[in-house]
């Protein structure tokens, strides 16, 4: 590994040395990237460069930021009637045979004049006396307009060649004409040999994208080459992509090795200039992230440069996206790409930072360094809009691939009824037609699938909000901010172009002196003051929203009186319906109910109802004291009129079904109330999807309390406009409860509670056993968490119990001292610590399958990134399912059960411990007749594989559905058939979450043990087999074990010439060689043992087979 790296490093070093010395010998380039020192000639602003007047602003001679050839820096000159720029450049021609001066220059429009600038160049041997100046270009070359950079090459006169030192003077003169002159810019100035190509076509960057592809970025536009023009050492080209004018992606037939040489012949740039040969070394020495594809905001596909080791890329802890580990990882069949289910959705136009560590290739070579990728999330969508209720347009910034259209599946989030027919009227516009009409004024979110451009560029999937809006903006309220300033609140965001015209506003014929637009708000300022308590009339000319809907002329009378401020939770969000359902008694429409907790009316105009994605402005309205008000989409508001007062909102913020945050904001965007909910707020999936509302039990609580939000108990499944069905005007008297802990650092732990805590911790006292000295206690980032800093490190595999005194929640309720609070730093698992303990692979109809694991050790173990999987047809681990993406501590000698439906599993097996059940949307495939279960630790170093078969059940069981296989001993081999038995009927044929009904603990005495000595094969509720255990002084003995009838007839052979370890066991289920039940009576167990010295021992034991009556 190390030798291979050094070999690669030497190759890179030689390449860099060759490039550097070639550059240094033939060219000395000034790119003006370093900051200029503001000094005038003869003092230098850059080494060997000076000018007659250097400034830090864009005048005289200056450093022009963003004006370089590639958007970087350049030298700029602004000539005026009284100033010609003069730049002095000191250099040497000693190392050149026949040198030339080369530079790039352009002009740029400045003011309204028509004067060009006229550059002249002259040479000197002493810096004082210059030869006749040479004009560069002409009046058209540097006219007062925006021009592109042009390369200029000027031979060095013979008398200035082979000199240790010469001076070059660049004089930028004010040209003829009228008015102002153009600005002059110069970049990349240097000396070259006369035959040398000054600006050759170069490869700026080469990057391996996958085992079969790499990209090449060029320094300027190229014409796409054909495959025969390209040769790759030891490989062949599969196909080429040319996604941009400067990028070429090459796909190969064979995997890319550690080093490849790529030669491209006769490559043509955008001007038609041909470069005979371009060469590059492609490096793929270590496995790294090659490229990332955003399939949707919460799903990311990573391609690696080499085939990976599955165990290294299936651990969520090995990856972060914007600082957070993914929820889960799915491995692709190609064995070089994976899918990351992200913890937090990506946001358009923000940077995405991906980091991977401890990644190994399929040769088990681990990259010792972190691999990272950073890019800007762009979806190349310029706009999404609806011109009529059945048509949505998606405008792209680059041409789309017409061949992909039929494969694109667009969806509107939270509205599955919309299905689209997709067409491409032109290459930049996608047209989506739906038979289901859009509602006007609703904020929709369009899920845009990933796709490709016409040239094969991957276009990320995204979510874009849009509104079908044909209603002009309405002026809701005018609020006096101070004696000369008004705040205008509109019903939606305003077009700033029309709204910024001062003459559009007037009071008594006087226009404002200033206008400021902030979304849906406009701030107007006058030079004179308003008189308190007087009425004024504001007149506004037509005003437009962002969708081009113009209002009529608006007239609004207002009183110059400031409204009294309202406080936090004066108005509360009292009830929400995030997921209505058709067929219920209430309308199939979302609604939010607000309640005025005060004793006076409250004006609502200009307030905002917002969720996690968008906001809607409330129109002019007043809510009376102790009154309810239903907020709903404007076009559906009539459906709620029979339930009470209703206020329809345009641009309704569609609530998310699974989880969301709903806020009520004041006109000045202060939070008046906030409500969080998720699927657990409903208590079960049946309530979450059943069209039930969530109601506040006590709207008068000033302290946020999650348990105060409850699912509606009303028969209509909601109570819009009236007292909530769960209402109870009782104060919050419940104590805060401890929920969980997190080890943040070696000496820092976070304790999480179910309620917001009192921020005053001065009286809080903690007693920790075993003792840990506390350095500091503080409230965490979330107000329901307590952060403990200790003076020493937390010990692993130790349960620290905490007694907390004087801790209160925000309502003043005291935390009960007797409640158990603890934290644990988990230990590391060893082989056999966590085992597969029970499997139900053939459930009854409608019941779920399950896999149970057991911690057989005395350790506390972290289950984060452990996986369930199975083997594919090639006996390779496949279908991995990460069990926990966050910390989950499994206590010693405890169980966990993995299933797809906790509730149904509990119904099937009432004795099951539901608190040990963990529900997943899917599990690896476990066929009902035969299959395998694979348990993997995060690194996949510890693997347990249980290969099961229906034949492993007790032979006398005819109906095997609904009966699990239980492991008898966690210490015996997992694939020993004798170590598995059908679950007992007395436990309901399975024991999920607790000790198996069939288990064997054995003892440590030497010899042979029979347990039980009497058994009934078909007895219900009893053990239907006997266990024959052996304990040897040393392993390696050869044994044969047979069952005989007292008359000497061989009944069954349990093993023949088996190599025994130090201990083990066999089962006899009371059947003969043909799996037929034997008759009741006494039977002889005959055992013959050969040790390593050839000694033979024979042992006889008796066992009784009974029968049921």
Tokens of 456: 């094969």
pLDDT value for 1006: 62
pLDDT value for 334: 94
Whose CA is closest to 696, among 683, 684, 706, 685? Answer: 706
Residue 662 has pLDDT above 80, yes or no: yes
All structural domains of the chain with their residue ranges? 44-193, 203-283, 289-377, 381-468, 480-560, 571-711, 738-825, 827-999, 1002-1108
Which residues lie below 8 Å from residue 780, measured CB to CB, with a gap of 6+? 750, 752, 786, 787
Q: What is the CATH number of domain 738-825?
A: 2.60.40.1220
pLDDT value for 258: 94
Of residues 237 and 1002, which shows the higher confidence score?
Answer: 237
pLDDT value for 729: 79
pLDDT value for 600: 84
Which residues lie below 8 Å from residue 248, measured CB to CB, with a gap of 6+? 215, 216, 218, 222, 224, 225, 240, 241, 242
624 Rama sector, left if φ>0, alpha if ψ -120 to 50, beta otherwise:
beta
The predicted-structure confidence for 208-249, as pLDDT tens digits, reads as follows 999 999 999 998 899 999 999 999 998 999 999 999 999 999
pLDDT value for 816: 87
Q: What is the CATH number of domain 571-711?
A: 2.60.40.1260
Is the distance from CB of 1069 to CB of 977 less than 8 angstroms? no
pLDDT value for 18: 36
Strands (E), 720-790: 738-745, 748-753, 765-769, 774-779, 785-790
Examine domains 44-193 and 381-468 and report if their fold is the same.
no
> 151-161 b/e with 16+ CB inside 10 Å = b?
ebeeebeeebe
Distances (CA, A) of 326 to 258, 320, 545: 30, 7, 40
173: which strand partners?
118
Tokens of 743: 């080890």
The winner for highest mean pLDDT among 690-699, 733-742, 935-944 is: 690-699
3-class SS of residue 321? strand
Q: What is the CATH number of domain 381-468?
A: 2.60.40.1220
**pLDDT mean over 452-460:** 94
pLDDT value for 945: 94
Sheet of strand 1081-1090, all strands in order from the earlier edge strand to the far edge: 1014-1015, 1096-1105, 1081-1090, 1037-1044, 1050-1060
DSSP string for 774-808: EEEEEE-SSTTEEEEEESSPPPBT-EEEEEEES-B
| Helices and strands (DSSP H and E) totals, the chain | 5, 80
Residue 562: pLDDT band by 50, 70, 90 thresholds? low
Whose CA is closest to 603, among 473, 476, 472, 474? Answer: 476
The winner for highest mean pLDDT among 49-53, 312-316, 560-564, 1085-1089 is: 49-53
The predicted-structure confidence for 582-608, as pLDDT tens digits, reads as follows 889 999 999 999 999 998 888 888 899
Of residues 280 and 564, which shows the higher confidence score?
Answer: 280
3-class SS of residue 643? helix
Give the span between the Cα atoms of 422 and 433, in whole angstroms. 7
pLDDT value for 8: 42
CATH fold, domain 289-377, is: Immunoglobulin-like (2.60.40)
3-class SS of residue 690? coil
Whole-structure pTM value: 0.67
Which residues lie below 8 Å from residue 10, measured CB to CB, with a gap of 6+? none
Please provide the average confidence, as pLDDT, over all residues in the chain: 89
Residue 564: pLDDT band by 50, 70, 90 thresholds? low
**pLDDT mean over 296-300:** 96
Residue 12 has pLDDT above 60, yes or no: no
Residue 1057: pLDDT band by 50, 70, 90 thresholds? confident
Top-level class of domain 44-193: mainly beta
Instruction: Return the percentage of the chain with pLDDT > 90, whole number.
Output: 63
**pLDDT mean over 1060-1068:** 84
Give the span between the Cα atoms of 865 and 303, in whole angstroms. 21
3-class SS of residue 901? coil
Top-level class of domain 480-560: mainly beta
Residue 3 has pLDDT above 50, yes or no: no
**pLDDT mean over 1014-1037:** 80
pLDDT value for 44: 96
pLDDT value for 229: 96
Whose CA is closest to 1034, among 968, 1088, 1089, 1086? Answer: 1089
Give the span between the Cα atoms of 814 and 807, in whole angstroms. 6
The predicted-structure confidence for 793-848, as pLDDT tens digits, reads as follows 999 999 999 999 999 888 888 998 778 899 999 999 999 999 999 999 999 999 99
| 685 DSSP 8-state letter | H
pLDDT value for 10: 41
Least confident of 265-269, 509-513, 532-536, 1021-1025: 1021-1025
Top-level class of domain 203-283: mainly beta
Least confident of 277-286, 694-703, 1085-1094: 1085-1094
What's the alpha-carbon Rg for the chain, to the nearest Å?
40
The predicted-structure confidence for 675-719, as pLDDT tens digits, reads as follows 989 888 887 777 788 899 999 999 988 877 777 899 999 999 999
Q: Give the other-Cβ count within 10 Å of 585's Cβ.
A: 10
Tokens of 613: 């994605």
Whose CA is closest to 63, among 78, 52, 74? Answer: 74
Which spans in 224-322 are helix H? 310-313
Residue 1105 has pLDDT above 70, yes or no: yes
pLDDT value for 563: 60
Residue 47 has pLDDT above 90, yes or no: yes
Tell me the longest C-alpha to C-alpha distance in the chain.
131
Does the domain at residues 1002-1108 carry the CATH identifier 3.40.630.10?
Answer: no
Of residues 407 and 96, which shows the higher confidence score?
Answer: 96
The predicted-structure confidence for 847-891, as pLDDT tens digits, reads as follows 999 999 999 999 999 999 999 999 988 888 888 889 998 889 999
Give the span between the Cα atoms of 366 and 519, in whole angstroms. 51
Whose CA is closest to 953, among 918, 899, 989? Answer: 989
Listed as own residue / partner, the contacts of 1-4 with beta carbons closer than 8 Å and 24 or more positions apart are: 1/365, 4/258, 4/285
Residue 1036: pLDDT band by 50, 70, 90 thresholds? confident
Top-level class of domain 827-999: mainly beta
Residue 639 has pLDDT above 50, yes or no: yes
**pLDDT mean over 451-466:** 94
**What distance lies between CA 900 and its chain's CA centroid?**
25
**pLDDT mean over 904-923:** 93
The predicted-structure confidence for 468-492, as pLDDT tens digits, reads as follows 988 899 998 888 877 888 889 898 8
């Amino acid at each position: 590994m190390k030798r291979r790296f050094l070999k690669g490093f030497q190759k890179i070093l030689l390449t860099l040395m060759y490039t550097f010395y070639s550059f240094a010998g033939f060219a000395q380039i000034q790119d003006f990237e370093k900051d200029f020192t503001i000094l005038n000639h003869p003092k230098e602003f850059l080494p060997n460069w000076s000018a007659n007047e250097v400034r830090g602003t864009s005048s005289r001679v200056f450093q022009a930021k963003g004006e370089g050839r590639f958007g970087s820096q350049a030298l700029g000159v602004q000539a005026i009637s009284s100033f010609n720029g003069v730049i002095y450049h000191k250099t040497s021609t000693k190392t050149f045979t026949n040198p030339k001066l080369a530079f790039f220059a352009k002009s740029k429009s400045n003011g309204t004049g028509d004067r060009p600038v006229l550059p002249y160049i002259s040479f000197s041997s002493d810096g004082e006396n210059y030869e006749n100046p040479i004009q560069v270009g002409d009046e058209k070359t540097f006219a007062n307009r925006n021009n592109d950079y042009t390369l200029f090459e000027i031979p060095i006169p013979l008398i200035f060649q082979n000199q240790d030192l010469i001076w070059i003077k660049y004089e930028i003169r004010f040209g003829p004409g009228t008015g102002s002159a153009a600005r002059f810019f110069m970049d990349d100035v240097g000396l070259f040999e006369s035959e040398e190509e000054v600006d050759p076509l170069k490869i700026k960057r080469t990057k391996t994208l996958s085992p079969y592809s790499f990209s090449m970025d060029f320094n300027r536009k190229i014409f796409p080459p054909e495959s025969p023009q390209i040769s790759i050492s030891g490989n062949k080209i599969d196909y080429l992509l040319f996604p941009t004018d400067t990028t070429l992606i090459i796909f190969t037939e064979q995997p890319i090795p550690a080093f490849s040489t790529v030669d491209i012949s006769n490559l043509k740039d955008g001007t038609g200039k041909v470069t005979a040969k371009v060469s590059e070394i492609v490096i793929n020495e270590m496995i790294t992230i090659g490229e990332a594809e955003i399939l949707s905001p919460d799903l990311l596909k990573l391609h690696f440069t080499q085939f990976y080791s599955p165990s290294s890329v299936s651990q969520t802890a090995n990856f972060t996206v914007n600082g957070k580990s993914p929820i889960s990882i799915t491995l692709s069949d190609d064995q070089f790409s994976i899918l990351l289910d992200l913890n937090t959705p990506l946001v358009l136009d923000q940077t995405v930072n991906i980091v991977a560590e401890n990644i190994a290739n399929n040769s088990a070579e681990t990259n010792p360094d972190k691999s990272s990728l950073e890019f800007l999330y762009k979806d190349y969508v310029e706009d999404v809009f609806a011109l009529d209720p059945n048509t949505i347009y998606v405008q792209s910034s680059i041409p789309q691939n017409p061949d992909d259209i039929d494969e694109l599946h667009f969806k509107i989030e939270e509205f599955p009824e919309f299905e689209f027919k997709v067409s491409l009227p032109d290459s930049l516009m996608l047209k989506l037609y739906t038979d289901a009409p859009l509602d006007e004024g609703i904020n929709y979110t369009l899920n845009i699938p990933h796709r490709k451009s016409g040239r094969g560029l991957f276009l990320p999937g995204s979510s874009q909000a849009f509104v079908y809006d044909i209603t002009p903006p309405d002026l809701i309220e005018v609020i006096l901010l101070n004696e000369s300033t008004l705040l205008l609140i509109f019903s939606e965001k305003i077009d700033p172009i029309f709204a910024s015209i001062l003459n559009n506003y007037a009071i008594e014929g006087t226009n404002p002196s200033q206008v400021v637009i902030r979304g849906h708000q406009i701030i107007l300022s006058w030079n004179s003051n308003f008189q308190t308590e007087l009425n004024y009339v504001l007149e506004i000319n037509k005003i437009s929203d962002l969708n081009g809907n113009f209002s009529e002329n608006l007239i609004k009378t207002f009183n110059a009186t400031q409204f009294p401020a309202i406080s936090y939770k004066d108005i509360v969000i009292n009830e929400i319906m995030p997921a209505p359902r058709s067929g219920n008694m209430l309308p199939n429409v979302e609604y939010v109910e607000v309640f005025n907790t005060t004793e006076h009316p409250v004006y609502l105009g200009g307030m905002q109802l917002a969720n996690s994605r968008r906001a809607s402005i409330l129109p002019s309205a007043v809510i009376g004291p102790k009154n309810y008000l239903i907020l709903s989409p404007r076009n559906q508001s009539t459906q709620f009129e029979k339930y009470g007062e209703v206020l329809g909102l345009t641009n309704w913020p569609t609530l998310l079904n699974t989880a969301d945050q709903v806020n009520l904001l004041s006109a000045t965007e202060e939070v008046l109330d906030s409500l969080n909910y998720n699927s657990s707020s409903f208590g079960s999936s049946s309530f979450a999807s059943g069209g039930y509302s969530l109601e506040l039990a006590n709207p008068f609580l000033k302290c946020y309390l999650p348990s105060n939000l409850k699912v509606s108990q009303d028969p209509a499944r909601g109570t819009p406009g009236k007292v909530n069905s769960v209402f109870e005007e009782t104060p919050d008297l419940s104590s805060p409860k401890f929920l969980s802990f997190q080890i943040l650092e070696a000496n820092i732990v976070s304790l999480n509670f179910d309620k917001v805590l009192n921020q005053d911790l001065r009286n809080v006292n903690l007693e920790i056993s075993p003792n840990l000295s506390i350095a500091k206690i503080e409230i965490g980032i979330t107000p329901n968490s307590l952060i403990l800093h200790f003076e020493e490190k937390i010990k692993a595999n130790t349960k620290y119990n905490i007694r907390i005194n004087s801790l209160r929640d925000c309502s003043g309720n005291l935390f009960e001292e007797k409640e158990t609070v603890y934290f644990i730093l988990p230990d590391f698992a060893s082989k056999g610590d966590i085992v597969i303990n029970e499997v139900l692979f053939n459930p009854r109809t409608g019941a779920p399958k399950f896999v149970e694991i057991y911690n057989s050790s005395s350790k506390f173990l972290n289950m984060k990134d452990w996986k369930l999987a199975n083997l594919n047809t090639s006996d390779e681990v496949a279908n991995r399912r990460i069990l926990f993406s966050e910390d989950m501590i499994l206590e010693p000698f405890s169980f966990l059960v993995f299933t797809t439906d906790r509730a149904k599993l509990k119904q099937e097996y009432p004795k099951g411990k539901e608190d040990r059940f963990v529900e997943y949307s899917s599990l690896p495939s476990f066929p009902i007749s035969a299959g395998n279960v694979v348990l993997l630790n995060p690194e996949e170093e510890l693997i347990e594989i249980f290969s099961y078969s229906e034949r492993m059940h007790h032979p006398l069981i005819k109906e095997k559905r609904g009966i699990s296989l239980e492991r008898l001993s966690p210490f015996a081999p997992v694939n020993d058939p004798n170590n598995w038995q059908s679950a007992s009927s007395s436990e309901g044929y399975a024991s999920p979450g607790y000790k198996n009904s069939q288990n064997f603990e054995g003892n440590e005495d030497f010899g042979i043990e029979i347990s039980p000595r009497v058994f009934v094969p078909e007895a219900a509720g009893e053990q239907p087999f006997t266990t024959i255990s052996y304990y040897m002084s040393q392993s390696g003995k050869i044994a044969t074990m047979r069952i005989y009838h007292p008359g000497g007839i061989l009944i069954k052979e349990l093993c023949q010439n088996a190599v025994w370890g130090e201990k083990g066991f066999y089962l006899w289920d009371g059947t003969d060689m043909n799996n037929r039940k034997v008759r009741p009576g006494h039977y002889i167990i005959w055992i013959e043992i050969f040790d390593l010295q050839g000694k033979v021992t024979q042992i006889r034991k008796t066992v009784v087979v009974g029968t049921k009556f």
